[in-house]
A = this chain, B = another copy of it.
């Protein structure tokens, strides 16, 4: 295969054929197409996009580069959700056990935190002993047995995507909607799903801050899933402030356990319920929203959802007792308060700088090889629009040392601004997007 003319055609706004994308991805996966040609092609795609046929061909090629989970003789619906990520976004930790408790099978492959955003795998690994590096057949077996498994992308799943994702990360070609969509969907389609619910974030702390881009990504993934036999519904939700209170790995695990115990913060629970309702509707386990909501509420009230979490923790190497004794999670040596300097209205709780503070505390990654500290993070106790008095407690910093904590305190103070005017905030849930419609959320 002679690659430069293919790069040139994409560069000049043309399209590559199915067999050309397949050839490119096969050659890249087996190492015969070098990184520098793929980097140039990825940048050309960044500028020129992909037409629907190309997007399908790229996704299918990455999917075909690896194995798939096989749930063909499973009677229960196999369902998953995916979030484009943000700060404090721990809905996956609640939804997988809740859906399993409601009778679905949830084979959830997740990612690690990078940049200012947290990652589900890092949060799970805050549980001592918890393993996320499962083999595919082992993961499928567990999902069948207890209804859920949460793991990292294995070497067996879409290896071409793994390699391309790592390359995009160091060549400024991450923020390409077709490349994002193909990457996510090649992994999710490998899970053998009956349905997928997307939580696409918008707002300043989102990967794609602009609503129009978030909607475009949602529609692109919905279209891809549809033509591949996997129904997809998306909610576009707010990431102009953190979701919930806890931000940081062990802190978020703790808040997820609180949520599964009926004691989660309202915004976290509202998004979790909305996504869970979509998952139950899409899986066919609930015929309308009211039934779905009741099922989810019962899963929490009965303790079934928390029990599923405990079963998963035990199955994946952790101590199941953590589900009822979250104090078993690691905690920081230094915990300090951040107080409001002035009184007034909270005008912004900026997730991007707060996410960066967590990285600086050791709770996130600068490079993929960085080790992550589970115990550090922030409790962000205020929301935009809230009134505070001077001296009010607005956040807590969980740090490894007093020096780290003090430095974080001033940065947290800067990220939480207090003023006179009521801020413009995004609605917690902005749109519901299906193949047919994009409708503003009405709760």
Contacts and interface: CB of A to CB of B under 8 A. Distances in A.
Interface in A356-383: none
A40 B3 contact: no
Contacts of A36: 34-36, 38-39, 167, 170-171
A5 to B, nearest CB: 8
A173 interface: yes
Interface stretch (A43-51, A177-185, A286-294, A312-320): A43-51
B39 A172 contact: no
Contact of A172 (B4, B35, B170): B4
Contacts of A173: 40
Contact of A37 (B3, B5, B8, B170): B170
A231 to B, nearest CB: 34
A167 B11 CA distance: 16
Interface in A1-58: 3-5, 7-8, 11, 34-40, 42-44, 46-47
A171 B38 CA distance: 8
Contact of A40 (B4, B5, B34, B43): B43
A47 B36 CA distance: 17
A46 B41 CA distance: 12
B171 A46 contact: no
A169 interface: yes
Interface of A: 3-5, 7-8, 11, 34-40, 42-44, 46-47, 167, 169-173
Nearest to A40: B171
Each complex incorporates copies of this chain amounting to: 2
8 contacts: A4-B169, A4-B171, A7-B171, A34-B36, A35-B36, A36-B36, A37-B170, A39-B40
A42 B173 CA distance: 13
A4 B170 contact: yes
Contact of A11 (B3, B37, B40, B172): B172
A46 B12 CA distance: 11
A3 B173 CA distance: 12
A172 B43 contact: no
Nearest to A48: B47
A7 B44 CA distance: 13
Given A39-B39, A47-B47, A172 B34 contact: no
A386 to B, nearest CB: 34
A167 B37 CA distance: 9
Contacts of A46: 11
A169 to B, nearest CB: 7
A430 to B, nearest CB: 25
Contacts of A11: 43, 46, 172
Contacts of A3: 170
Given A4-B170, A8-B172, A47-B47, A37 B39 contact: yes
A8 B43 CA distance: 10
A338 to B, nearest CB: 29
A233 to B, nearest CB: 32
Nearest to A10: B172
A3 B38 CA distance: 17
Contacts of A43: 11, 39-40, 43-44, 47
Most chain B CB within 10 A, of A5, A35, A36, A171, is at: A171
A327 B34 CA distance: 46
Given A36-B171, A37-B39, A40-B43, 16 more contacts: A3-B170, A4-B169, A4-B170, A7-B171, A11-B43, A11-B172, A35-B35, A35-B39, A36-B38, A36-B167, A36-B170, A37-B171, A39-B43, A39-B171, A40-B42, A43-B43
A172 B40 contact: yes
A46 B39 CA distance: 13
Contacts of A7: 171-172
A232 to B, nearest CB: 29
A138 B42 CA distance: 44
A42 to B, nearest CB: 7
A274 to B, nearest CB: 33
Contacts of A40: 39-40, 42-43, 171-173
